[in-house]
Chains A and B, each alone.
Chain A
Amino acid sequence: MRGRPNLYTRYDSEMGLFPSTTKKVSIALLAVIAVLAPLAALPFFGFLGDGSWLVLVNKALIFAVCALGLNLLTGVAGQVSLGHSFFMAVGAYTAVVLGGEAGKTVWGLGLPMWVWLPAAGVVAALVGIFVAPTAFKVRGLYLAFVTLGLVFIGQYLWRNLGKVAGGPTTGRPWPELEFALWRNMDPIISFTSDGELWWWLKPINLLPWVQVEEMSGEVKTYFFVLVAVAIFAVMAKNLMRTRIGRSWAAIRDRDIAAEVMGVADAKAKTQAFAISSFYAGLGGALFASVVGRIIPETWDIFLSVEFVAIILIGGAGTIAGTLLGTFFVVLTPRIVENVTGFLATQAEDGGAFSWLGSIFVRSSGDDWIGIVSYPDAAGPGLSVAQLNIVLFGVLIIVFLIAEPLGLYGIWLRIRNYWKGWPFTY
C-alpha cells in the first residue's frame, strides 16, 4: 500500500519494528548521525565531539538503559516504583565486588567485564524477583511507598557494608570498561583509553570534510554504551509488542480484568520487576564504571525521582519518548549552566541580552534583584545546581499539567500537523 503509511492490511506489518519506509529512513539517518557526531564529523554539531559534552552524552545513554527499564515497569506494566536507584545500586555493587580490585578494606574478585556486566544485571533481577511479591500483595500508591522504603534501606546498607561499598565518604574505584579474557590478562579492547581509530570506522575518512585518526577514551565509551542502548531499546520494543508486554499492558489497565482474561497477575508483575531491575542493574554498573568512583549517597531518592521524571517528561510507555526524555533531563543542566554564564557575561559587558542578564543573574552581593548567583554560588540567590533542581521540578509539573504524553506527545502533535499540511486535519 504505497503512499498510505497508516493503512495496515496485516497484523505483522502493524506490529513490525519499522512499520513504514519513513521510519526505516529516519532510523538509518539517526544511526549515521549517532556515529558521526562524537567524531566531530558532523557539520554544526562539532561541539558534540568535545570531551565535556561527550561525558554528558555518555551519561545520558547509560541513564537511557536504566530509564528503559523503569519505563517497562511503570510505563508499560503500571507498577509505580520509586526504588529504581536501589536496583541500580545493587547492580553497581555486584559489578564492583566481582570486577573490582581487592583491597585491605574492600572485597573484589578482579574478574573481567564479560563476567561482571551481565552479573550486575542478573543479580539486580534476582533482587527484583525477591521484591516482586510485595507488588501483588500491595497495590498502587502503597507500592510506591514500599519501593521508596527500599531506597532508604539500601542507603543504610551501602553506608554500613564497607567491604562492598568502600568508605561512606570515599567510595571505591570501579572496574574500567575493557574487554579481557580473564583476570590479570591484558585487555583485548579498552573502551576507556585514548588510541587509534577503530578499523571499521576508518571509512568515514572518505567524507571530504572529515580527517580523524585518533579516538579518545570518551568516544570509545560512547560507542560501547550506544550499542548497549540500541540492543536494550530493541529488546524493550520487542518485549512490548509481544506476549509479555501485552500481558503487562493488560495488568496496567486493570489488573483484575486481566486476570479474568487469563493473564497471570503474579507472573506478569514478577517478570516486570525482574526485567526492569535487570536494566537498572546493568545501567547502574555501567554508570558507576564510567564515573569511576561512587559514594553510597549517590543512590538516593533524588536519583529515583530523576528516572520517574525522565519517563514522565519523555512520555510514559514509549521507547522513543524515554530516549528523548533522558537526553532532555541529562543535558538540560549543562545548557542552563551555559545560558546562565552567557547572561552573566552579557550583563557585565552590556550585550543585546544585558537587560535579561541583569534581571536573571545576581553577579555580586550588592545586586538587589536576580534569581541565580553566578559565578559565585554563595549569597541569597540560587546556585546554578539549585536552579537546575528547581527547573527540574517545574518541568515535571508543567509537563504533567500541559502535556501528559510528554515530549513524545509534542512530537506526535507536530507530526500530525505536518501529515495533513496544509489542511488542519
Chain B
Amino acid sequence: MLVGVVAQAVTQGGFDRFINALGSGIALGAIYALLALGFVIIFKATQVVNFAHGAIAALGAYLVSYFAVTVNIPGKWMTAAPEGVQWVLSAMVAVLLTALIGVIIERVTIRPMIGEPLFAVAMITLGLDLIIRTITNDLMDNSATGLGDPFGLDQISIGPLRMGYAELATISVTVIVVLLLLWFFRTRTGVAVRATAFDQEAAMAQGISVGKVFAIAWAIGAALAALGGIFSSVGARGAAGVTPFTALFAFRAFPAVIIGGLDSITGAIVGGLIVGIAEVFAGTYLGSISWLGNGFAGIVPWLAMMLVLLIRPYGLFGTEEIRRV
C-alpha cells in the first residue's frame, strides 16, 4: 500500500499536492503526538493504560470554550490585552484545570488500584471514559461548540506549501512541549519520575514519593491530552470546535502509541507523525478510489497499527517484555 501511495504521489497533482499533504500530515501528526505523549507518560510512570485519554482531551477543549467564550476568564479583567493573548491565557487556565482534574482522577480512582492487574486498572479508565465523555457531551449540549480561537481559517504560504495558522501553532507548541519535556526529565522531579517508571519499589527505597510522582504524571498527561484536544478543535481541521466526536477522534492517538511502543516517548512522537501523515496521505491520494468508500482515511491509523504489530509486537521503540515462568 505504501508503494502505491508513493507511486500515486508522483503521478497525481505533482509536488504541490505532495508537499501540502505532508505539511498537513505533520500538523495532524503533531496533534496525535501530543495525545500520545500524555498517554505514554501516564503509562510509563504509573503502569496505567488510560482509555479515558480521549475523553480528557475533549473535556480540556470544552473548558477552553467555557473560559474563553462563556465566562471570558481571564479576559474580562484585562480588556486592554489583545484578543489572541486573552485566548491563550484562557487556554492555559483550561489546561491547568484539566491537569488538576487528572490529579483528582488519579487520587480517587487509580490510587486504590495499585498492585492490581494492569487489565483491571485499564477497565477502570474505560469506566472513567464513559463518565467524562458523557458529562462533557452534556456540558456542550451534544453539539459543536466553538473555542473562540483567534486562528480562524487563515493560511500562510511558504513557496508551494500553504499552512493554516492553527497548524503552525500546533506544530510549534508540540516542539515546545517536547523541548520542555526533555528539560523536565533532567530536573530533580523529572529524574524521580524516570526512577519510578524504572522500578517503583527501588524508587521508594531511595526516598522518592511515588504517590507524588503519580500525581505529576497524571497532571502532565491530562494537560497534554487537553492540548491535543484543543488543537484538534481549532483552525480548518476543527472549524466546528469541540464536538461529541472529539473524544472518538482522540481514540486514533492509540494506534500512534502502539506503533511507537506503549512505553516509549520517542515512539509516541514518531508514531504520532506516522499516523498523521499516513492518514492525510490516504485522504489525499486514496480519496478518489471509489471502492474504498467513505471514511477510509479514518481507519488507516488502525490498519497501520496492525501492520506494525505483526512485524514488531511491541511497537517500533517499545521495550520487549521479558517473559519468565
Contact = CB atoms under 8 A, between A and B. Distances in A.
A29 to B, nearest CB: 33
Contacts of A380: 138
Given A156-B296, A382-B135, A141 B302 contact: no
Interface stretch (A112-120, A143-151, A174-182): A143-151
A392 interface: yes
Contact of B321 (A139, A156, A309): A139
B309 A142 contact: yes
B293 interface: yes
B313 interface: yes
Interface stretch (A232-240, A268-276, A396-404): A396-404
Best-surrounded residue of A140, A389, A400 (most CB of chain B within 10 A): A400
Contacts of A142: 258, 262, 309, 313-315
B255 A149 contact: yes
B152 interface: no
A149 B306 contact: yes
A144 B262 contact: no
B297 to A, nearest CB: 10
B310 interface: yes
A204 B302 CA distance: 55
B262 A397 contact: no
B254 A393 contact: no
A282 B135 CA distance: 34
B254 A145 contact: yes
Q: Is the interface of B mostly helix, strand, loop or mixed?
A: helix
Given A159-B295, A312-B123, A397-B124, A256 B310 contact: no
B84 interface: no
Contact of B130 (A148, A152, A392, A400): A392
Nearest to A137: B313
Nearest to B254: A145
Contacts of A254: 325
A71 to B, nearest CB: 14
A393 B128 contact: yes
Contact of B325 (A148, A159, A256): A256
18 contacts: A138-B309, A138-B313, A140-B119, A142-B258, A148-B254, A149-B302, A152-B302, A156-B293, A156-B298, A386-B134, A386-B138, A390-B130, A390-B134, A392-B127, A394-B131, A397-B109, A397-B128, A400-B127
Interface of A: 80, 134, 137-142, 144-146, 148-149, 152-153, 156, 159-160, 254, 256-257, 260, 301-302, 305, 308-309, 312, 380-383, 386, 389-390, 392-397, 400-401, 404
Given A141-B118, A256-B324, 12 more contacts: A134-B310, A137-B309, A141-B49, A142-B309, A142-B315, A145-B254, A149-B255, A149-B302, A153-B302, A394-B127, A396-B127, A401-B109
